[in-house]
Structure 1
Amino acid sequence: MHTNAEFHQYLHHVLEEKIPFCKLLGMKLTDLNADHPTLTIRKQPELIGNFSQGMLHGGVIASVLDSIGAVGVLLKMAQQTPRQTAMEQVAEFAQMSTIDLRVDFLKPARGDVFVASAEVTRLGRRVANVLMQMHDQNGVRIATGAAAFILHGKG
């Protein structure tokens, strides 16, 4: 059986380095607790949607929430059905697809650092449901989300 440390190291590498879009957004995993994982992004000029007010683009917010939701599902799967190796566990990332994503934008995203978190509310054999949220560096909640992921793996 793999160690959590090894699995977490692979997960960091995949999300932060191997997935080009996540790397472009500058996503950094900051907590890999299966019950409440978090990631952060820093505001960059390329991520601004409203240039006159310097606000983060809504598509960036949705993408970050979708990503932390998937990480949450992967961590919960590792907790409930651990695979033999860390590589097998991370490979389940490629076996998931978002089938529904809802985002509620609550406040303008004007901060410099944003933290997204997730909570898996249901992990079934074929579908997982997740609630997500994003805060700025002052703790102001700027968006919430809910997602459903289909799990294509053999279980």
Structure 2
Amino acid sequence: MQSGKVPAPPIAKLLGMQLRDVSKGCVVMEMEATKKHWNPMHTLHGGVMCDIADAAMGSAFFTTLDDDESYTTVDLHIKFLKPVITGKITASATVVKRGRRLGYIECEIRNDEGELVAKADSSCIVLREEN
């Protein structure tokens, strides 16, 4: 892991996300969904759920990197399973496969009652510093 720390992505501050748990290949992030995060139907905007999933999955993948490596997301897929109005949402991300060049990460997002509200997955590519 790079220098033993996982930096919170800058978007986390804007949306109110917080890192709750970090271990190699796993990250849990939380945020409080409020009216300011709503779409026109008065439910949590899907882009906000994508943001917390992407932040959690990227942070989980970050924990697998060596000091001379970075990464970028190649793709992200999300399935919205239940609407969220307001309340805490928790994104739990796990690196399922970490290869030399590619990684595959999965994420579950749950509401404050523990119900699964979305599932996401993404692929990341490892970037290495040129010598």
Q: TM-score, normalization: structure 1?
A: 0.74
Which protein is richer in strand relative to its size?
2
Deviates more, 1:141-150 or 1:105-114: 105-114
Which protein is richer in helix relative to its size?
1
Q: Which residue of 1 aligns with 2:27?
A: 37
Alignment-mate amino acid for residue 107 of structure 2: M
Q: Which residue of 2 aligns with 1:25?
A: 15
- Deviant stretches of 4+, over 6 Å: none
Unaligned runs of 5+ in 2: none
Q: Which residue of 2 aligns with 1:114?
A: 89
Q: Which residue of 1 aligns with 2:121?
A: 146
Unaligned runs of 5+ in 1: none
CA contact (8 A) 1:50 1:56 kept: no
Per-residue deviation, 1:42? 0.6
Q: Map 1:2-151 onto structure 2 (within 5 A).
A: 7-8=4-5, 11=6, 14-15=7-8, 19=10, 21-51=11-41, 54-77=42-65, 81=66, 83=67, 92=69, 95-151=70-126
Distance 1:59 1:73 in 2: 21
Give identity over the alignment, percent: 24
Per-residue deviation, 1:37? 1.5
Distance 2:8 2:25 in 1: 18
The number of equivalent residue pairs is 130
Distance 1:98 1:120 in 2: 13
Distance 1:29 1:98 in 2: 19
Instruction: Note the aligned Cα RMSD (angstroms).
Output: 2.3
